[in-house]
Amino acid sequence: MMVPKLQLRPLAVGNGRSQSIAGVRVSPRISVAPNCISSKHGINMSNTIEISITIHDFATTETAKEIICELYENETECEDKWTKVGTSSPVRFSRNIVFPDKFSYQYVFEKTQLIKAVFSRCSERDRPSSSSSDILATSIFKVDELIGSFGLQLRRQLQRTGSIANALSGTQRITEEYLGGIIVSAEMPEKEQPIVVQFHGKSLDRKDFLWDETAVFFRVFRLEEGKDDDSLIFLYESEAIKNHSHPQWAEFRLDTQDAADNRNRLLEIWVMYKDVDGKEGYIGKFLTTYAKMKYGPGSDNVYSVINDVKKAQKKSYENSGKMELVKFTDVSFYSFLDYIVSGTQLHFEIGVDFSSPEPVHELDQRRFDGELHMAIRAIGSIIRDYTPNRLFAAFGIGAKIPPTFHESNEFFLNFSMDPICRGLDGVMEAYRKTQTMVTPLKESKLSPVINYVTRMSHRSGFRGLHYHVLALFTRGEVTDLKEIQQALNSASDAPLSILIIGMGDYDFSPLQKLCSKRKDGRRDVVQFIHLKSLLNGAEAPWLNKSRIAETALRQVPQHMVQYMHNANIAAKPPIQVCRSPLFHSSSLIPDKPTEFDFELTKDIRHVGIEIPSLMPNLILPPDLSPRPRQDRRGSDSQYLDVETMRGSLTVRVPERCHSVLQTSREQYQRRLKERGLARMKFPRVELSTLESSGGSTQDSSL
């Protein structure tokens, strides 16, 4: 392509130097630092969500012409620490209200973030009234519950006044203050998808043939074609290398929106040189496109560097060297939030070391029990919102256990056939009972429990759908440091993060040194926390809990993302689940939502099933027929058709689920009976009848 002759218009680009070639106008790229927008948190776009609020069945006796929604955030348990996030535009008052405005909010995994939605009358000047009597309703919820809920949708009840204590307890009881409900939805902004490119040069022209000390580099521009003239927009500048014969530049990234807003968008690359005085010279240029580079390394992506001036002066001129594409990667870089909203569940495992190098006095034991309870609650209260069934595996270490009282460094804390405890209360109850039954040892070994949880994480299901966090609490002398190192090396290939938490005043320097070691080629998987350094008796308990959770969980998102990237696991589109009163996500978490087809809502009474709801006047839509989604795992051929006796209700149950993998039909039958859906049959479905769905029964991405 010939560049039209234009008046030279040099403009500062990149590092501020003036760049120009005769006949071309160069413009700087105007952009913000990648993945960042301004806020009090310095928001990372990969962890930003957009919250939408909808009121359903507003049952207030108050009247208003227009109302607004104000959103407040709080990271403490104090009622007077609310900070405003934003205010919606006024909306006409009605029974069902959809607020069109979206609130941008920064999500932080390791913090307990509370959101309060306040709905109040709007004054004549389109502003919220300052009087508390004009507040119509409020609702408080945790951001963790919104992120951890499949489909990024949360239902909460409206009350005249709300409290943080009720929000943290997680209970939703309809009281006299019940005023209706709200539906809280979240969306993720469009993420950047960079492309990774790398070039090598060959036999590039030199400034001098004998005493050449120049360094060669290149600049990448996007070519914008105009009606009257063409312009170049600067995108990237490489490092300078003192090697003209075969320079090998490092790989670099280009944002897809900049380089490939159009697959045939021309990219113009200038090859330049720089001498010891900092003066720059022009070697040549070549053109390419995103579509052409997508073919990858090969003969199609070897380019001749052309200097138009030399080409016009010399008839025998061929080129000023070659440039070769050696790497092109067009992939998405997923964040922790991307994996969570696409269905990845977090599992919390706990190991308690009963050993002590010295006899423990009663006062010290009470202090240990209190700190252990606080630490488990602090960490578990965050992770449990990402565990639908809220079941936690708990292990004991370093004790003589009944009935033979032999030494053991790996036993189930509940002394049952499996280590699963129901809820954090179940873990603490198992610990209190075990404490009265075992005899502490003077030393312990942590590697057996690490190896057990590593094996358990490998068997937890399809890769990418489950990630485990193991917290080990110890106050004794650990003697198997070498075995722990080997166990950590094995755990680096598993979907697992390990937190080793030192309790008391013991010298934990060997463990700290072990956890700080970094082995080449292995993923970071462990973190050591000395609990005593985080506790302050003069502060409120919630401050200590918050500090423990932030310190212990800060690196877990990075650990999980490293595992996913190393295993080449891509985040799927966000799961969308149709929540139903017939099934609960704690026992069935489908790849695709359970689908219901109601012939007539009035016929439901013939089935003999009462459908409870937080919205008493909720009218079910007449048509909830399945709408296939091509971007989700699974297909219509993975569903089992379930019909009631009278045929008035048809339920389509996913045959494969996240938490109940490879479940037999008999197990489905038993689970449905437990939920009151007795006398239901499972007709076998032939795949030939489902060919129109375009799906397959196997998930090739996994």
What is the β-pairing status of strands 11-13 and 83-87?
A: unpaired
Contact yes or no for 575/150 (Cβ under 8 A): yes
Domains of the chain: 48-187 (2.60.40.150), 194-330 (2.60.40.150), 345-567 (3.40.50.410)
Of 181, 383, 165, 205, nearest to 285 (Cα)?
205
Backbone angles phi, psi at 48, to 5 degrees: -105, 135
pLDDT level of residue 640 (50, 70, 90 thresholds): very low
Q: Chain centroid to CA 389: how far?
A: 19
Maximum CA pair distance of the chain? 97
How many angstroms separate the CA atoms of 514 and 509, rounded? 8
Neighbours of 613 (CB within 10 A): 12
3-state helix, strand, coil in the chain (%, to 5): 25, 30, 45
Q: Is the pLDDT of residue 429 over 80?
A: yes
pLDDT in tens, 676-694: 554 444 444 444 444 444 4
Q: What would the DSSP string read from start to end of 210-231?
A: SS---EEEEEEEEEEE-SS-EE
pTM for this entry: 0.63
The answer to whether residues 146 and 113 touch, using CB atoms and an 8 Å cutoff, is: no
Q: Looking up tokens 């219901």, which residue turns up? A: 596
At 677 the pLDDT is: 52
DSSP 521-536: T----EEEEEGGGG--
For the residues 122-146, what does the mean pLDDT come to? 76
Q: How far is the C-alpha of 591 from the C-alpha of 480, rounded, in Å?
A: 42
Q: Which helix (H) or strand (E) holds 11?
A: strand 11-13
pLDDT at position 331 is 66
Sign, Cα dihedral of 602, 607, 610, 612: negative
Half-sphere exposure of residue 214, counting CA atoms within 13 Å on the CB side? 23
pLDDT digits (tens, 9 = 90+) for 65-92: 889 999 999 988 888 889 999 999 999 9
Q: Are 545 and 377 within 8 A, CB to CB?
A: yes
Strand intervals (E) in 461-559: 466-474, 477-478, 496-502, 526-530
Residue 252 dihedral angles phi and psi, to the nearest 5°? -145, 165
pLDDT of residue 692: 41
pLDDT at 224: 84
Q: Which amino acid is at 565?
A: H
Asked if residues 658 and 389 have their Cβ atoms less than 8 Å apart, the reply is: no
Coil, strand or helix: which one is 339?
helix
Indicate if the pLDDT at residue 369 is higher than 70.
yes
Identify how many contiguous H helices and E strands the chain contains and give both numbers.
Answer: 15, 36
Q: How high is the pLDDT of residue 197?
A: 92
| Predicted local distance difference test score (pLDDT) of residue 496 | 96
Average pLDDT over residues 615-622: 40
What are the tens digits of pLDDT across the range 245-275?
889 999 998 887 778 777 678 899 999 998 8
Residue 18 parent element (H or E): strand 17-19
Run of H or E including 407: strand 406-408
Is the predicted pLDDT of residue 306 greater than 90, yes or no? yes
Parallel, antiparallel, or unpaired: how do β-strands 345-353 and 466-474 relate?
parallel
Q: What are phi and psi of 624, to 5 degrees?
A: -120, 40
Give residue-wise pLDDT tens across range 138-180: 999 999 888 877 667 888 888 888 788 877 776 555 555 668 8
Q: Which residues pair with 237 in a beta bridge?
A: 219
CA-CA-CA-CA torsion for 155, 157, 162, 165, nearest 10 degrees? Answer: -60
Q: Are 550 and 110 in contact (CB under 8 A)?
A: yes
pLDDT score at 295: 87
More confident residue, 523 or 497: 497
- Which amino acid makes up residue 518? R
Q: What is the mean pLDDT of residues 542-567?
A: 92
Place of tokens 């994480």: 457
Q: What is the DSSP string of 65-95?
A: SEEEEEEEEESSS-TT--EEEEEPPPEE--S
Residue 412 backbone phi and psi in degrees, to 5: -75, 135
For the cut 70, the answer to whether the pLDDT of residue 44 exceeds it is no
For residues 389 and 446, which has the higher predicted lDDT (pLDDT)?
446
The tens digit of pLDDT for each residue in 339-362 reads 998 889 999 999 999 998 888 888
Nearest-Å Rg of the Cα atoms of the chain is 31
Angle between helices 541-553 and 362-383 (to 10 degrees): 60
